[in-house]
Structure 1
Amino acid sequence: MKTFQTASSPHLPARRSVRGVMARVLLALVPGVLAHAWFFGPGIVLQIVMATGFALAFEAAMLHLRGRPLRPFLTDLSAPLTAVLFALCLPSLAPWWLAAVGMAAAIVVAKHLFGGLGNNLFNPAMVGLAVVLLCFPREFTQWLPPAGLDLPVPGWGASLRAVLTGELPAPWGWDMLAQATPLDTVRTLASQGATLAEIRDSAVFGDFGGQGWEWVANAYALGGLWLLYQRLIPWQVPAAVLGTVVLATLPFWLLDPDLHPFPLQHVFSGGLVLAAFFIATDPVSGCSTPRGRLVFGAGVAVLTLVIRRWGAFPDGIAFAVLIMNCAAPWIDQHTRPRILGEGRHP
C-alpha cells in the first residue's frame, strides 16, 4: 500500500525545509562532480571549495549589513548550492580570484541586493558566471583534456599550485595541457571549412559529445532524474530544454550531417544537461505555471542554440538562462491556469 508523508493534524502534507531541499540538490550533484574529477582531475573539487568559502563569507557580510541573523541563513545551504553550480561551470584550473569575483556578483548583487533568497529576479550562479565570462574570457580558454589523452591530468598538488599561482609544474605546461572545449573545437574548425566527419576524427570526441564530457553529462542526468523522482523539480523544464534541442536540430542534421551536428551531440556537449536539471529549474527565477515552465525551458534551449551558432561564446547557457529569467514574469502572466468561471458573463 502506498503511503504519503503527512504532518500532525490536520494532516496537511509535510512541508520541506529550504535546507532539506538544498541538501538533496547538492546530493544529486555528487555523481557529476565525481565524474568530472575522474576525467579532468581534482581541480574541480578545489574550485568548489574556494567558491563555497567565498560564498559563505559574502553571505555573512551581507546578512550582517542587513541586520539579519547569521545562523539560519548560513546553514540553509543556499549559498553553497550557488557556489557549486558556479564552480561546475569553470575550468578545473581557473585562478582562485575568478571564484571571488563570481561569488561577489552572485551573492552580493544577484541575491542580496534584490532582497535575499526568494526575491532574486536572476539565477545567482549564472549572474556570477556571466560576469567572469565577460570580464575574463581568456581564463575560459584553459580547459583540460580528459584523462587518457597525451599527458595524465594534474593531481592535487599540481592543481593547487596552478589555481593559486597560475603555474604548472613539469611535465605539464599551459601550452601543452590547456585546450578548447569540444564545442569550441567544432565551432572553430567548421568555420574553416572542415566537415563534421573530419572534426570528429579528433580524439577529444566520444560517441556523442566530447570525450569525458558526455559521461559527466550522463552523471548529471542521473542526479536530475533522482530529483524528478523526489518531486523536487518540475518535469516540464528539463523535458522542454532537452526536447527542444533535439527537435530543433534534428531537421538540420537530416538535411546535411556534414555541416550540422547530430542532435545528441548538442545535448551531451557543454553544460546543457546540467542547466536542464539543476539551473533552469530554479523555482525563484524561473516560471511557476506548468505551461510557463514548458515555454521557459524551450526558450533556454533555443537561445542556447542561437548563441552557440552565432554568438561570441561556444556555450551560451548562462546568457540563455538570464534572458529567460527576464521573461519569466511575463510568461507566467500569460500562461496561468484559467480560474473556474473566468470569462463567463452572468
Structure 2
Amino acid sequence: MNKLTVSLSPHAKAPIDTQKVMLAVILALMPSFIASLYFFGVRAFIVTAVSVVAAVLTEYLITTILLKRKNTTSDLSAVVAGLLLAYNVPSSIPLWQIASGAVFAMGIAKLAFGGLGNNPFNPALAGRAFMLVSFPQQMTTWPQPVVTKMMLNPDALTAATPLGILKEHIKAGETIQQFSNKLPDYWHMFIGNIGGSLGETSALAILIGGLFLLLIRVISWRIPFFYLAGLVSITGIFYLIDPTRYADPLFHLLAGGVLLGAFFMATDLVTSPMSPAGQIIYALGGGILAALIRLFGSYPEGCSYSILIMNAFVPLIDRALPPSRFGKEASRA
C-alpha cells in the first residue's frame, strides 16, 4: 500500500525560492564588491574569495559528512554569508583568519542550530564577532584606500576609520571643531574613499544594492527605514544637546557599517521578525542600540552587536506579535 504524506494547508507554490532570493542578494552585493576592488585593489578579491570558498566548503563538509544530509550549498546561502563576512573585515586581514571566521559562521552560528531557517543569529555577524574577539588587532587595522592601484601589500598604508577618529579624539577631551580637519568630508564618505571594512565604506554602492532589493521586494522597507530612523533619532538628539562633542546624524549614517547592516543583515529573513509591527520594533531597537554603543561604548562601531542583540529577541517579538493567519486580512502596519 502506498502511503501519502499530507502537509497542512495552504497548498501554494511561490514563484520564488531560496536560491532565487539568495541570487538576488548576491547581485545586490556586487556594487559593493566592485567598489572594494576599486578602493582596496586585488587584495579585496582575494579576501572575498577565501571567505566565500571557506563558507561553502564548510557547509558542504558538515552537511554531507558529519550530518549525512543532502548537500545544501546549491541554495547559495553560504555564498551570501561568505560575502557579507568578507564585507565586514579589513582588506589586510590574514587569509587564515577570514577562513576561520567563515568556518565559525557556518559551522557554529548556522549548522550547529540545524541549518538555514533554524539559526537564531545572523551567521556573518556572528563570524565577525568571533573574529573581533579572537583577532582584535588585525580586525581594527584599516588599510588606506589606494585608488587605481592594485595593492598586493596593504599593510604599508593604514588609516583610521571616521568613527575611530571621532572616538579617539572625543576620549582625549577635544571638541569636534578641534579635529574636524582630520575627519573625511561627506563626499568621500559617500563614495567610499575612506578607511574601513571592504564592503561598508561606500554608502553609494550599498544604497544601489539596497534599493535593488527593495524594488524587487526581496526585503521589506520597514527594517532598513526604522533601523536608520532609530540611529538618526538618538544621534540627532545628542547632536542638538552638544554639537561640540557629538557628531551629526548624517555623519553616523555615512560612517561605519549601518547602511550595510540595515539593508543586508538586519533584513535577514531567518533572523528578523515575521509581522510588520514586529519588524518595526526590531529595527527601531537595533538602530537605537547601535547609536548608544557608538556614543557611549568603548567600541567605535555598534551595528554588528546591535543586530545580534535584537536577533536574540526575535522569538519573543514573534510570540508577542505573530503574523496574520492565512486567510485573515493582513495588517496595514
Coarse TM-score class (shorter-chain normalised): 0.7 to 0.9
CA root-mean-square deviation? 2.3
Instruction: Report the AA paired with residue 88 of structure 1.
Output: Y
2:26 maps to 1:31? no
Tell me how far 1:203 sits from its aligned partner. 5.8
Instruction: Report the AA paired with residue 119 of structure 1.
Output: N
Q: Residues 119 and 191 (structure 1 numbering): CA distance in 2 closer, same or farther, change over 3 Å?
A: same
Instruction: Report the AA paired with residue 108 of structure 1.
Output: G
Cα distance in 1 for partners of 2:170, 2:185 equals 15
Cα distance in 2 for partners of 1:299, 1:276 equals 12
Cα distance in 1 for partners of 2:145, 2:109 equals 33
Cα distance in 1 for partners of 2:12, 2:314 equals 30
Tell me how far 1:256 sits from its aligned partner. 2.2
Cα distance in 2 for partners of 1:204, 1:98 equals 29
Cα distance in 1 for partners of 2:188, 2:295 equals 18
Unaligned 5+ runs, structure 1: 1-10, 163-167, 342-346
Contact preservation (8 Å) 2:201, 2:257: no
Partner of 2:309: 323
Partner of 1:222: 208
Q: TM-score, normalised by structure 2?
A: 0.87
Number of corresponding residues:
310
2:158 maps to 1:178? yes
Cα distance in 2 for partners of 1:13, 1:109 equals 32
Q: Residues 153 and 188 (structure 1 numbering): CA distance in 2 closer, same or farther, change over 3 Å?
A: farther
Tell me how far 1:309 sits from its aligned partner. 2.2
Partner of 1:142: 141
Instruction: Report the AA paired with residue 44 of structure 2.
Output: I
Contact preservation (8 Å) 1:141, 1:179: no
Which whole-Å deviations, capped at 9, do the CAs of 1:183-218 have from their partners, x for residues lacking one? 111000111122212322126443484862587112
Where do 1:254-333 residues align within 5 Å?
A: 254-333=240-319
Contact preservation (8 Å) 2:62, 2:107: yes
Contact preservation (8 Å) 1:209, 1:264: no
Partner of 1:4: none
Which stretch of the first structure deviates more once superposed, 205-214 or 312-321? 205-214
Tell me how far 1:42 sits from its aligned partner. 2.9
Q: TM-score, normalised by structure 1?
A: 0.83
Tell me how far 1:104 sits from its aligned partner. 1.4
Unaligned 5+ runs, structure 2: 1-10, 195-199
Contact preservation (8 Å) 1:285, 1:328: yes
Partner of 1:96: 95
Which whole-Å deviations, capped at 9, do the CAs of 1:112-136 have from their partners, x for residues lacking one? 1100111111111111000000111
Instruction: Report the AA paired with residue 297 of structure 2.
Output: G
Which whole-Å deviations, capped at 9, do the CAs of 1:98-155 have from their partners, x for residues lacking one? 21211111100111110011111111111100000011110022112234xxxx6862
Q: Describe the SS at the equivalent of 1:201.
A: helix
Instruction: Report the AA paired with residue 232 of structure 1.
Output: V
Instruction: Report the AA paired with residue 189 of structure 1.
Output: H
